[in-house]
Structure 1
Amino acid sequence: MGHVTHESRTAGTRQGLIIQFASSLTIMGSVMIAPMLPKITAEVAANDPASVDMVPLIVAAPALAIALFAPVAGILADRFGRKTMLLVGCLLYALFGALPAIIADIKLILLSRLFFGFAEAIIMTCCTTLIADYWAPAERMRYINRQVITIGVVGALFFVIGGIAGEGSWRTPFLLYLAPLLMMPAILAWLWEPDRRAEETAVPAAPGQKLRLTIASSYFLIFAGMVTCFVVTVQTPTVLVGLGVTSTSLIGAAAGLAILCTLLGSVAWSFVRDRIGVPGVNVLLLLLMASGLFVLALAPSYGVVLVAMVIQGFGAGFLVSNASLPLLLKLPPRLRARGVGGFTSCLYLGQFASPLIVAGIAIPFGGMPAGLASAIIIWGLFATLLAAAWLFVGITRSRQPEQTVAG
């Protein structure tokens, strides 16, 4: 069930579950803490009012650290091994993740969250690379999608778990970041370092120019796609407030619907990809996300905003799997981890850049929030142009005699 390593081992369900749950540590990094921000803000306001503006960075800082450090994590994984670096990442995740439970200074908490993001970058890069190391292309596709689905499910669960754990104190959820310590024995026992030299001889590297084009297109797609996803994630509350919807329950319900539709899109990805190919799915996901932006920007009511959540969320469910698949199929083993590190960096850089890009586009239209609708529409038009570009790519490739699974 997957290619055999130099130790005559074959990856199976146990290895898949370990990698999937380890991958989910990255989503736990943000969702467990988000419900705690009001409590943290209240405590910081009482003790150090000048530092209140730093509180949102508790959630944002790890994403920035991942974007900056993921390429370095890939180089380290190629140099020292995926399993070794995964263990190091889990140890650092537990150490720096739990630190805010025992420190009070907001600046030290932010510093610990930056190092926590470094650990997340290592974990995500190693897990995604191991999927490509352990499984042959046909099964690799399935495990990529399972990884995405597991991350979504775990994220939804720990959003609730973090809220429950933080009822008494906002510090309690940080102790849950010690969970990777429980996974380390399983990683030691059931994962192994793949023999990359053997695979290099069995699987020739893609031609240099073609490989560079694959890397560039995957990186660009995931960056632009994540910017688009987070336009909805970040800006929907502002849109709803503009429509007179101030209930946090209603705003939360819209976010929950988007998450559910993203999961449905992830589940449907394999079915859709088998029928229209990777370039075709790129066209579809970009058109769906662009349509969601248009509906959101022009929405006259809460119900129409929910329609936007459904359209955009379903398209977003295709994104990570479809953008990463060509990369994982074509990267040679000696470059695989650093290639995945660059992909991870672009993914989180897109999240971080999204509100800055929207704010920049809105400036000629009166700034934020007055120019928000115009900015969303303009970015939606950009996503539509990208869909047209990938449609052209798909038509061009369909005329070529050599057609790979990567489209």
Structure 2
Amino acid sequence: MSVEQRVEVPWSSTVFQTILACSLVGIMGVPLVSPILPALRTVFGISDTQAGLIITVYTLPGVFLTPVIGLLSDHFGRRPVVLPLLFLFGLAGAAIGFAPAFELVLLLRLLQGIGASGLMVLAITLIGDFYDGAQRHAVIGVNGSAIGIGAATYPLIGGTLASVSWNVPFAFFGVSLVVGVVALFTLSEPSIDEPPSFRAYANRLASAAFVPEALGLWVAAFFTFFLFYGGVLTALSLLLSDVHGLTPGEIGLLFSMVSLANATMASQYSRVAGYLPARQLVALGFVGFGVSLLGVWAAATPVAIGAMLVCFGLGFGVVMPSLDTTTAGLVSGQLRASMLGVLTSMLWLGQTVGPVVFTGVAQNAFDSTVAGYRFLLLFWGAGAVLGGLTVFAYLACRTGASASHSDAS
């Protein structure tokens, strides 16, 4: 058994290493920038709502383009799609550091978002293409752990580089260019069945994407990133600056708690998945999100807030691998990239809507943005706990009823 566990993850494979690199680039765009949002308010003389747009315009392309990128990847291959995305991400991201005006920053973030829109979905798609069974679970767990470690590191990098100058963190996006060059020589094209016509393909995709079990995945994906990007990376970042007077580096350190906990939990996902079905794990993850947000609302010190963010990261570490493995297993290789594209599109939608909702409501519906952010943390924290417990109980009852029916038969 121990020998099997050692060979499950192909650490020496250049394809596997390239997949991990694509995932790490794909999640770089927001965690690296989030800790410096307060500083960007000063540099460009913008409001909280405008600062939130730095995230929103980056995530917006993914809402619409990710399913299209999945479709193109299923028809024309993975390499012809992933390589241009890596280069666009790196060039547009690095150019932001030279932008003289806020409007140009938003334009470059939009272009960078186009580059980022397909990287994560293509990484998971490649895992589904090259690996199956227990090895797929193990590889997705490692991929999730790597993402967690990267997301823990990026806020620290962003905050540290921002201590030199506000624009230095954007130079770090040039790493994507290096990954693109490496992928050009190391990423092989997986073997998948010849796809049908676009019309037949679209009909099959629509049928698969709108079955009830898939719809539940899309809703969970949306709210996962809605809460994380709106409640944590945007609202809490501004709260930590305005209420507690933290610097970008200190904010980045606190946010790394989420990612470290995520990495730890994701690395154990193959074990955790043996205890409960993936959908029940998603429900428990939302309970973790809610407890974290309620704890942040009640916490009086940055240290206590950091401790509560660990809970959010643990929930993240079970929700994301569960969504990925369940979606990848719903369909064959012909439709896999497109279905994962729909999943990722819902993630991007959550990223896009979250910052706008949290900053917009706090700024326009309350006497002070601080009061607004605190209310929203309480509201969504309570909602996540109640929703997660309700869905978990429903799924547990349904599983028990199915088991009883099988025994009776």
Give the Cα–Cα distance (whole angstroms) in 2 for the partners of residues 99 and 344 of structure 1. 26
Q: 1:192 is matched with which residue?
A: 188
Give the Cα–Cα distance (whole angstroms) in 2 for the partners of residues 36 and 283 of structure 1. 32
Q: 2:200 is matched with which residue?
A: none
Q: Would the aligned equivalents of 2:218 and 2:346 in 1 still touch at CA under 8 Å?
A: yes
Question: How much does 1:257 deviate?
Answer: 2.5
Distance change (3 Å), C-alpha of 1:38 and 1:358: closer
Letter of the structure 2 residue corresponding to residue 287 of structure 1: V
Q: Which of residues 120, 135, 139 in structure 2 aligns to 1:139?
A: 135
- Greater alpha carbon shift after TM alignment, 290-299 vs 114-123: 290-299
Give the Cα–Cα distance (whole angstroms) in 1 for the partners of residues 336 and 25 of structure 2. 21
Q: Which of residues 65, 70, 79 in structure 1 aligns to 2:66?
A: 70
Letter of the structure 2 residue corresponding to residue 95 of structure 1: L
Q: Would the aligned equivalents of 2:225 and 2:351 in 1 still touch at CA under 8 Å?
A: yes
Question: How much does 1:122 deviate?
Answer: 2.3
Letter of the structure 1 residue corresponding to residue 151 of structure 2: G
Q: Would the aligned equivalents of 2:31 and 2:233 in 1 still touch at CA under 8 Å?
A: no
Q: Which of residues 368, 391, 394 in structure 2 aligns to 1:392?
A: 394
Question: How much does 1:42 deviate?
Answer: 4.7
Q: 2:28 is matched with which residue?
A: 28
Letter of the structure 1 residue corresponding to residue 314 of structure 2: F
Give the Cα–Cα distance (whole angstroms) in 2 for the partners of residues 305 and 227 of structure 1. 19
Higher relative contact order (CA 8 A, sep 6+): 2
Q: 2:382 is matched with which residue?
A: 381
Q: Deviations over 1:234-280 (max 9, x none)?
A: 333566678x6333366554323233222222223332221122133
Q: How does 1:157-236 map to 2 (within 5 A)?
A: 157-197=153-193, 212-230=211-229, 231-236=231-236
Which segments of 5 or more consecutive residues in structure 2 lack a partner in the other structure? 1-9, 197-203, 405-409
Distance change (3 Å), C-alpha of 1:338 and 1:385: same
Say whether residues 1:122 and 2:96 are aligned partners: no
Give the Cα–Cα distance (whole angstroms) in 1 for the partners of residues 368 and 306 of structure 2. 25
Among all aligned residue pairs of Structure 1 and Structure 2, give the percentage whose two residues are the same amino acid.
23
Letter of the structure 2 residue corresponding to residue 186 of structure 1: V
Q: Would the aligned equivalents of 1:61 and 1:110 in 2 still touch at CA under 8 Å?
A: yes
Q: 2:3 is matched with which residue?
A: none
- Greater alpha carbon shift after TM alignment, 282-291 vs 102-111: 102-111
TM-score (normalizing by structure 2):
0.80
Question: How much does 1:114 deviate?
Answer: 0.4
Give the number of equivalent residue pairs. 384
RMSD of aligned Cα (Å): 3.6
Q: 1:104 is matched with which residue?
A: 100
Q: Would the aligned equivalents of 1:257 and 1:309 in 2 still touch at CA under 8 Å?
A: yes
Give the Cα–Cα distance (whole angstroms) in 2 for the partners of residues 256 and 62 of structure 1. 21
Question: How much does 1:26 deviate?
Answer: 2.0
Q: Would the aligned equivalents of 2:93 and 2:170 in 1 still touch at CA under 8 Å?
A: yes
Q: Would the aligned equivalents of 2:159 and 2:251 in 1 still touch at CA under 8 Å?
A: no
Q: Would the aligned equivalents of 2:49 and 2:359 in 1 still touch at CA under 8 Å?
A: no
TM-score (normalizing by structure 1):
0.80
Give the Cα–Cα distance (whole angstroms) in 2 for the partners of residues 162 and 216 of structure 1. 36
